[in-house]
Structure 1
Amino acid sequence: MRIKRILATTAALTCLAVLPACKGGGQAAPPDAPASSAAPAGAAAAGSLAEAQQYMREFTGCEDLGSKPDDPRLPSGDFPKVGQWSVTEVGVCRDGRRQGNIAIAVPKDMKAFQAGYKQYVTDKMSGGDGAYGLFSNVLVGKGFVAFPTNSKSAMALLQGNMRVLVCNPGGRVPEGYKREKPLVEGCGLTDFFATEDGSGSPNFETPQDPAGGGEKLGQPKTGSLGLPRAGSIAELRKLVGNSMDCEKHFSTDPDAVAIESIDYQPAVKGNALDWGITGRALCGQPAGAQRAVNLSWLDTVGDMKKLQTKAKAAQQADLKDDGKLRATASMLLVGENIAVETNKPSSRFDLYQRQFLYLNCVPGFSAPSGYRLEKSQVEGCVLTNYEPEHPVG
């Protein structure tokens, strides 16, 4: 079963040239960092445990720092000891926010550390553990290496410009993630944190199968059960009816359409033409004396594939932070040549009754029997009327 999970993780991924993932000990250098430093660009230098803790506390709850060799929080086995791989200090802190620990190693010579770790991975693979290091928890900063036990801690540190060191040639880095050179040949650095249980960085290259492995009610074998269309913004406004606050509060003025608030953010950002949109309107009450209320956006679409491609990229960027989509960001519901952006569940429910479907690009998403699940125009996404956070029925 383990081999099957590994194959599932690495299938359909873009290979990072000789990019190994290390499980147990190692380091990763930051993006665009010069090979001589092998540390993330913009990462604060840390030459001691205290400095490493200070840096990591910007992104995690690295508390209760301990440096005693018998600290029970220190990992056994793979974790380097003082004197190994140029390590001069080891310690561990607690990430209370995410209910995990972060072990820390401070090497005197980062290249020596990486070379030692690479040899360790090579020896483990030669000893029969060919999958060793495919799911690395070894993150490199400037002058220190972190070993988080919790995937959420690791992903938080990656936001701080740390990098995963991978030294198993079978490691893969999906498209959309960084690939950088470490200080030793045969390894790689990346901001992709792979986990066996899927709790790490999302893999946006994982194919989505609308068939879900079997026939489901409410789901066509081929084609679509039908999507709404409209010839203009005026027709779209009429089509959505009372689904949103479009009858009393409606505007196509570019300045009004560009309005958003902390509570209501559009799915489409920047120049709408770049998203394949030909017409755009705002429904709801923009902020005035009070906060904005019920903001939603109506779109006529000239290039649906371009819209879905841009929306997929936006979802990926949002998911990359913590694996979740922001609640204040509008979800994109599409028809044949139209789209609606809204973050109001009740509005979306009404739109689903009018045959709109939500563009969902979350890796591994599936819908229960009875919900619609159809192919989108971009790989890795589906169209559906099922929302796990707001199921109907």
Structure 2
Amino acid sequence: MHIQRIRRILATTAALACLATLPACEGGADAAPPAAPPSAPPEGPLTEAQRYVRQYGSCEELSTAPDDPRLAADEITKAGEWSVTARGVCSDKPEHGEIVLSVPSDMREFQTRYKQYVMDRIAGGDGAYGLNSRILVGKGFVATPTRTKTALALVRSELRVLTCNPTAPVPKGYKREAALVEGCQLSDFVGSTDGSGSPNLETPQDPGAGATEKPGQPKTGSLGLARAGGIAELRKLVGSSLRECEEHFSTDPEAVAVESIDYQPVVKGKALDWGITGRALCGRPAGAQRAVNLSWLDTVGDMGKLQTKAKAAQLAELKEAGKLRATTSLLLVGENIAVETNDPDARFGLYQQQFLYLNCAPGFSAPSGYRLEKAQVEGCVLTNYEPEHPVR
């Protein structure tokens, strides 16, 4: 009896080992395949979309469960909305992200609803929403990856990025196709704020180099820039845009040299080294409390020197952080004056007063309707267009 019991145990162990390691044992092709995971959806449009995506990236553990926590990666729509009849999510394991898959019954309706969503976000104050869209449209389905690297892999297929923000760029060298709704476009350009998206190899447009495709832009010279006869005149000129200059204004060198964690000037060190002849501070420097609304006013004796130094500082920050920090002031210049401020609302007013922003970001271009003029330093332009704060 003891020997028979041992034989039964050995036989059971061998059978379990066989099931764990082989698709079939002794029964060959007639043996039953392993069961699918409980949450795996049945064959249909979603699994077809998954198979397509997996040709270009990772899309594992597809689930259609509405309470799957991975679906939180894309909350702009749900099954039953925007004509979406099926919706699921899979894991993008190499990139530690997710890909949401949606199957609309009417792709035009889906794109129309997405455009309206983008317009509503812009109208609500988020002017940059949709510039770095991750809505990738395919034939019969939409993929929304959470990782930029995954989006770059997927646009090598026939999937195309849907962008409906009117200022979203598609640089030269990338495919551009008409979307199903006016005001949107499809492309294989993946935008990003940290430089990890598709490379933009265009150089800043230089209206001084020849003909321009932008109506109203000068081939040479300028459409006109602000000027002032001194600091007092400059203070009066910008008073409507920089309200703090009316009551909180100082030319004291110690006050002007103040920096704050919330407000970083462009000009640092000796002002004369930047070509600046006069300098003032608007706003309330930090005392017992944090600083409030700091901006700097400059009269400029050598605009070329100022722009050269500002370019170097701007490129250094772009290299270090991938973008300009929100606390960093932008340099807005006139003919012989400049203003440094990180307040988008103040800059909007200054643009109306004929100041322009010195932008030295590689690949920068401005949409039609914005000013774009030649700077005094190569590789930079003067503009009133800010991708993060487009004028509406």
Q: Which has the higher contact order (CA 8 A, sep 6+)?
A: 1
Structure-1-length-normalised TM-score: 0.49
Select the structure of larger CA radius of gyration. Answer: 2
Structure-2-length-normalised TM-score: 0.49
